[in-house]
Amino acid sequence: MVASPLVRGDLFSIALCSALALACNDPAGPVAGRKVEPRVAPPPIGRAQIAPPLIDRSDTSRVVLRDPTSLASTQVDLYRQADGVVDILWIVDTTGSMENQRRSLAGNFDRFIQTLVRLNTRFQIGVTTGDMSSTGERGALRGRVKIIDNDTPDPREVFRENTTFPGSRKRWLQALRAMERSLTDRSLADAPGKPNYGFLRPGAALAVIAVTDGDDESFGGTAWYARLLRGVKGKGYENLVSFSTIAGTLPEGCWPPGEESYFGSKAAPAVRLSDLARRTGGVVASICDETFEGSLVRIAEALSTLKRIFPLSLPPVADTLSVTVNGVPIREHPVQGWQYRPEVNSVTFPGDYVPPPGAELRLFYAIDSP
């Protein structure tokens, strides 16, 4: 029997692989086009030696903790000035015994206006009387110009006209009842053309000033009228109201200058009006002053709602405090600028300069590190 050529080739390949110690992937032997790869023995693996780590402790020493470097810290306090808007209702006694006092009041009214302007106050001023009779004002504002404001030409002359009355012997003064109607009766102010229309402004402070040489004879206690005033501005704005009076002094009244010999000219003590002023933080001045200049300045300054004291949140380092108003630096000066009061830790404006309504204040200073 003779083997085929294919069988003889395969036997020859097997023999050749064995002779050359070659490994063949195909146990059937090489075939044309197939690659023959060598057989590789795996590498030898020895036993691993595991030993503990060696630590060099020769340079180890104690760690010393030190305080961080002390750095200057700064603080900025920001404030917004109040709006400085006030509505002022004057209630003036119409009786004949008040003629000289009304004339003096009008003659010194310029100082009242000048003080309001100096304090950057936007004001509205109206005048009524305490006459609640059928022929009286009953709370309505008087005059051709019923509301005096910052733009009124010659405000003193307008005020004089509005406080000039014909001779009268009326003695029944109801200033508080007139105040109530003037501020709360909507029929006086509900439409253009009404006497009190536009007098009360939302957000404005409200001040009432009664001028008389007698005491009030309205029905109701002063505590009730104090609540009435606060209620006019509404909840949250109660501190924007005040009642002041220029009247007879306590406890016995007083004599106006030059009228000591006239029967019935003595000003009665204004017990009720003074009590209402006390309840609302107002000013009590004497109707018997020779001029009302000082009293008018005091009242005008009290009416300003602009803040003069601005507390600091932390104690400052001396000589590091700076103040800017609307981005403009303000110098430290007792009259034309600010001062620091350490006893209350506050920046104050004690002189002629007051930050204007709505101004933004920036108080910058360094503080001691703890």
**Can you give the pLDDT at residue 35?**
58
Rounded CA gap, 359 and 354, in Å?
10
Rounded CA gap, 232 and 107, in Å?
31
Query: What would the pLDDT profile of 277-314 be if each residue is shown by its tens digit?
Result: 999 999 999 999 988 999 999 999 888 888 899 999 99
What are the tokens at 322? 């700076």
When mean pLDDT is compared across 51-60, 91-100, 314-323, the lowest value belongs to 51-60
**Local structure of 293: helix, strand or coil:** helix
Cα torsion at 183, 175, 137, 267 (round to 10°)? -150
- Which of 24-33, 61-70, 162-171, 224-233 ranks highest by mean pLDDT? 224-233
Q: At residue 30, does pLDDT exceed 60?
A: no
pLDDT exceeding 90 applies to what percent of the chain? 62
Bigger pLDDT: 177 or 168?
177
**Can you give the pLDDT at residue 54?**
73
CB-count burial class (<10 Å; 0-12, 13-18, 19+) for 184: middle
The secondary structure element, H or E, covering residue 225 is: helix 222-233
**Can you give the pLDDT at residue 31?**
52
Q: What is the mean pLDDT of residues 185-213?
A: 95
Q: At residue 367, does pLDDT exceed 80?
A: yes
Bigger pLDDT: 253 or 66?
253
- In this structure, are residues 200 and 206 in contact, taking their beta carbons and an 8 Å threshold? yes
Write the DSSP symbol of residue 98.
G
**Can you give the pLDDT at residue 227?**
95
Q: What is the mean pLDDT of residues 122-151?
A: 95
Q: What is the pLDDT of the chain when averaged over all its residues?
A: 86
When mean pLDDT is compared across 75-89, 260-274, 282-296, 323-337, the lowest value belongs to 260-274
Q: At residue 331, does pLDDT exceed 90?
A: yes
- pLDDT tier for residue 120 given thresholds of 50, 70 and 90: confident
**Can you give the pLDDT at residue 119?**
85
When mean pLDDT is compared across 121-130, 241-250, 349-358, the lowest value belongs to 349-358
When mean pLDDT is compared across 18-32, 150-164, 213-227, the lowest value belongs to 18-32
Helix orientation angle between 109-118 and 99-107, rounded to the nearest 10 degrees: 40
Rounded CA gap, 148 and 88, in Å?
10
Rounded CA gap, 180 and 140, in Å?
11
